[in-house]
Amino acid sequence: MESKCSICPRRCGTDRKISVGFCGTGADIRAARAALHFWEEPCISGSRGSGAVFFCGCNLKCVFCQNREISAGGGGTVISPLELSEIFLKLQSAGAHNINLVTPTHYVVQIKEALSKLREPLTIPIVYNCGGYESAEGLEILKDDVAVYLTDMKYAESALAQRYSGAADYYETAVSALKKMLLYAGAPKYDGGGLMQGGVIVRHLVLPGCRHDSIEILHRLKAEFGTSAFRLSLMSQFTPTENLQNYPELNRRITSFEYNSVLDAALDLGFSDAYIQERSSAKPEYTPPFDLTGII
């Protein structure tokens, strides 16, 4: 795996000891922020915050990414697995409800090593927060450690997935991954305070001009999994970024009509406990500063 990486569905075969792969990362862990984070779903953020570790790099690199400054793989600081294990414990001591691994996909081997170096146990759940483009082999590495999967389901149509993420096989790959996640984490479980202790949240960000694709995703998910196997989170916070000259159709926020039509479809299909966002709810805090000041 280290000499010919195939840990994610890109299977780009890079020797990460001497080069960086499609995900923009080599063998070293690069992280841009580790801090209490209050902008996930309420069952993850709770009152004290989620202990989020934002890793640099990404195996999708969506053209509209809100975290572009770190998803390309640059920035951040190199930390060892031992240092990462210390960060986990500091976040736990700071009161985090969970350890929230933000796009761990390309670092599962290193995270497993960090977890093996903990000098005291983690008593809070580990959240695997990813874009949904996961391999079975990658997910298996952390299956005994992860309690909650917070995963995306971005596209149904392969043409959209190819255009915006260069991953024509996104939907099939993400559904296969979701099956693994449901197998490993089971049905949603909460503590007495409503914090998720196990299970899967499936996030979907509604994109401008793509409401039909969003509704298609909901129909497919219901047909495949029903409406109670996971918790649905419908997101409206899409915000155009500066690099979208070649994607003019994405150069606007979504409309109320677009979001409400997707929401209505979700409710009609029976996703009655879905998390929903006010369309005007995009806040700068959703994208925290990745300036190294946030390494706890």
Site residues (CB under 6 A) for ligand SF4?
5-8, 10-12, 14, 16, 21-23, 59, 106
Q: Which is closer to ligand SF4, CB of 23 or CB of 195?
A: 23
Confirm if 109 and 141 have CB atoms less than 8 A apart: yes
Burial degree of 245 (CB within 10 A; 0-12, 13-18, 19+):
exposed
| Cα distances (angstroms) measured from residue 215 to each of 97, 139, 145 | 33, 27, 33
Q: Which is closer to ligand SF4, CB of 37 or CB of 61?
A: 61
Least separation in angstroms between CB 176 and ligand SF4: 16
Confirm if 167 and 161 have CB atoms less than 8 A apart: yes
Vertex 226 angle, CA 125 and 147, to 5° = 10
Least separation in angstroms between CB 61 and ligand SF4: 10
Q: Which is closer to ligand SF4, CB of 5 or CB of 218?
A: 5
Q: Which is closer to ligand SF4, CB of 45 or CB of 59?
A: 59
> From CA 139, how far away is CA 105, in angstroms rounded?
8
Q: Which is closer to ligand SF4, CB of 8 or CB of 295?
A: 8
Q: Which is closer to ligand SF4, CB of 12 or CB of 94?
A: 12
Tokens 């736990």 sit at which residue?
Answer: 92
The H helix count followed by the E strand count for the chain is: 9, 10
Q: Which residue is nearest to ligand SF4 (CB)?
A: 21
Least separation in angstroms between CB 74 and ligand SF4: 14
Least separation in angstroms between CB 105 and ligand SF4: 6
Q: Following DSSP, what letter does each residue of 49-96 receive, concatenated? A: -EEEEEES--SS--TT-TTHHHHTS-SSEEE-HHHHHHHHHHHHHTT-
Least separation in angstroms between CB 62 and ligand SF4: 14
Least separation in angstroms between CB 107 and ligand SF4: 8
> From CA 94, how far away is CA 98, in angstroms rounded?
11
Q: Which is closer to ligand SF4, CB of 24 or CB of 49?
A: 24
Measure CA 292 to chain center. 20
Least separation in angstroms between CB 58 and ligand SF4: 9
